[in-house]
Amino acid sequence: MADGEVAAHYSRGDLYQVIAKALESAGKDLANLEPADLDPLEHFHGRGIAATADLAASLTPLPGQEILDIGSGIGGPARYFARTFGCRIVGVDLTAEFCEVARRLNEAVGLADKISIRQASATDLPFEDGRFDAAYSQNVSMNIADKAGFFGEAYRVLRPGGAFALSELALGDGGPVIYPTPWSADGVHSFLLTEQQTVAGLTRAGFEMVSVVDNGPAMHSFLQAQRQAVAREGAPKLGPFILMGADAREKGRNTARNLEEGRTRPIEILCRRG
């Protein structure tokens, strides 16, 4: 699948305006945005900011470290890392519109000096060997056919001993994945691996495994709490559904069904460059 087709799946053309309108509707002052104002909508993966916090905790970032976000989207995780730990983040994403929105939101919440965003492919990173202290990626590899290239590039740009945290949906054993989903309208550019295949691919790239966590229970609890909140309070005004377009509801239903029926499995892997 050509990179351009993957980027086109996520592009809208008016995403910043859509986000701004949603924030205003939720009562946010666009001229005085705080980083936390964006939390409900900017973490484009299961469990939202809670998943980002768990991933960040596994990396234990230190102030001043330079950390690579592979598949940075509109910048939510990068902003969380930067504001929480005082580290410097470099984000790369294939989708030009995501990169532009990320830069504008970084400026809006006063974090542009800590975060740099570049448009680039995860399989061809524009950085020198051994540059980064750590790296992470959330819900990105599902769109990447060349897993060897992805894992190899992550390994290459890390310093020796640098950690790589990968939070993804793995392929389950509950049957074929149901589409559309947030990462694919019809499965054409969906390249899920099983947990075992993912671990094997990282190991072949040279990584040493530290931990593999099944996030299924946490995700099931999150979905249940989300449904209860909607039943009590109605549909939220802010959420990652804003990034998904007109069929966001169907994508959300299918994502939940895939998880609950074991068609997909949320996993989190921590490994290190030897």
Q: Which residues contact 17 (CB under 8 A, 6 or more apart)?
A: none
Beta strand 264-273 with 207-214 is: antiparallel
Does the predicted TM-score (pTM) go above 0.75? yes
Alpha-carbon distance of 242 to 41, in angstroms, equals 7
Q: Which of 70-74, 147-151, 222-226 has the lowest mean pLDDT?
A: 222-226
> How confident is residue 1, by pLDDT bands cut at 50, 70 and 90?
very low
Q: Which residues pair with 164 in a beta bridge?
A: 135, 271
* Under 8 Å between Cβ of 48 and 39: yes
Measured distance CA(36)–CA(79) in Å, rounded: 10
What pLDDT was estimated at residue 5? 86
Exposed/middle/buried for 176, CB within 10 Å: 0-12, 13-18, 19+? exposed
Cβ-Cβ contacts under 8 Å for 224 (sequence gap 6 or more): none
Give domain 3-122+132-273's CATH number out of 3.40.50.150, 3.40.190.10, 3.40.50.720, 1.10.510.10.
3.40.50.150
**Longest alpha-carbon distance in the chain:** 51
Q: Is 44 in contact with 220 (CB distance < 8 Å)? A: no
SS3 35: helix
Q: Where are the domains of the chain?
A: 3-122+132-273
How much is the average pLDDT of 8-27? 93
pLDDT band for 22, please (50, 70, 90 cuts).
Answer: very high
Cα distance between residue 98 and residue 112, in whole Å? 15
Q: How far apart are CA 41 and CA 216, in angstroms?
A: 22
Confidence of residue 8 (pLDDT cuts 50, 70, 90): confident
* Cα 273 → chain centroid: 21
Helix spans in the chain (H) = 3-10, 15-25, 39-42, 48-59, 76-85, 96-108, 147-157, 195-205, 216-233, 248-260
Q: What is the pLDDT of residue 2?
A: 60
Say whether 7 sits in a helix, a strand or coil: helix
Q: Are 37 and 28 in contact (CB under 8 A)?
A: yes
Q: CA-CA distance, 143 to 205, in Å (whole number)?
A: 19
Site of tokens 């074991």: 262
Look at residue 20 in the predicted model and tell me its pLDDT: 96
Alpha carbon distance 74, 89 (integer Å): 13
**Model confidence pLDDT, tens digit, residues 143-190:** 999 999 999 999 999 999 999 999 999 999 999 999 999 999 999 999
Taking residue 27's Cβ as centre, other Cβ atoms within 10 Å add up to 8
Helix axes 216-233, 48-59, angle to 10 degrees: 150
Closest C-alpha among 265, 108, 110, 120 to residue 198: 265
